[in-house]
């Protein structure tokens, strides 16, 4: 198995790149943002609880997200590997993920961190808000999400760096050129399927 974490601030292009990476290398794409939005839409108990945090630009509590990931990993029995998008977002989530994968006799192989200047992030997110219909893509909530990223999520990069798994990639090129940079790292481990 090959397991990849695509890491980066809100608006860095994780979602877009993850879709291409998942189809090019036949990896199972797990996006906690998408999973949570699906729960919100179906108005499940988890969704109703998560929405309170998401609408304020705050992280959903670790135990909620970790439970969701755990069942998603269990559902995907014969995956070639996973690409985690938007997860882990706290050190507790990173530690929980290591345990879940260890239980499956596998591990995180590589963490690719997308680097995008803050002004560009805000521009992209405000632009997306105009068309996405996402209730958290307005300037006030965006600012909170970026603040939450700096305080809780950025330390996750140090966690993986300490385990020698982190590679930083500039994410302010075109979508295609950024993909090429990411692919160069991935192909040290596996070739397109």
User: Catalytic site residue 147?
Assistant: no
User: Catalytic site residue 168?
Assistant: no
Q: What residues does 84 pair with on adjacent strands?
A: 5, 30
| Choice between 64 and 190, CB closer to ligand ADP | 64
Which one of the listed residues 134, 144, 152, 165 is annotated catalytic?
134
Q: Which residues bind ligand ADP (CB under 6 A)?
A: 10-11, 32-33, 36, 53-54, 57-60, 65, 86-87, 89, 93, 136, 145
Return the ∠ at Cα 68 (arms to 66 and 70), rounded to 5°: 70
Which one of the listed residues 37, 51, 72, 89 is annotated catalytic?
89
User: Residues of 136-147 as b/e, b for ≥16 C-beta within 10 angstroms?
Assistant: bbeeebbeebbe
Q: Please give the residue whose beta carbon sits closest to ligand ADP in the complex.
A: 33
Which one of the listed residues 37, 51, 72, 145 is annotated catalytic?
145
User: Catalytic site residue 37?
Assistant: no
CA pair distance 58, 104, nearest whole angstrom: 30
Residue 126 contacts residue 18 (beta carbons within 8 Å) = no
The contacts of residue 104 (CB under 8 Å, 6+ apart) are: 73
Q: How far is the CB of 193 from ligand ADP (least distance, A)?
A: 25
| Choice between 87 and 160, CB closer to ligand ADP | 87
Task: Kindly list the catalytic residues.
Answer: 14, 89, 128, 134, 145
């Amino acid at each position: 198995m090959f397991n990849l974490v695509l890491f980066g601030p809100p608006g860095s292009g994780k979602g877009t790149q993850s879709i291409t990476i998942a189809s090019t290398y036949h990896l199972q794409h797990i996006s906690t943002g998408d999973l949570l939005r699906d729960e919100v839409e179906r108005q499940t108990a988890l969704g109703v609880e998560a929405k309170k945090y998401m609408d304020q630009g705050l992280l959903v509590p670790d135990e909620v997200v970790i439970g969701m990931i755990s069942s998603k990993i269990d559902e995907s029995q014969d995956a070639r590997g996973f690409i985690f998008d938007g997860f882990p977002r706290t050190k507790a989530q990173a530690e929980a993920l290591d345990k879940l994968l260890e239980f499956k006799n596998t591990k995180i192989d590589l963490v690719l961190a997308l680097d995008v200047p803050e002004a560009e992030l805000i521009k992209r997110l405000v632009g997306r808000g105009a068309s996405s219909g996402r209730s958290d893509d307005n300037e006030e909530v965006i600012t909170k999400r970026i603040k939450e990223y700096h305080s809780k999520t950025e330390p996750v990069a140090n966690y993986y760096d300490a385990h020698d798994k982190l590679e930083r990639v500039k994410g302010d090129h075109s979508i295609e050129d950024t993909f090429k940079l990411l692919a160069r790292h991935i192909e040290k481990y596996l070739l397109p399927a």
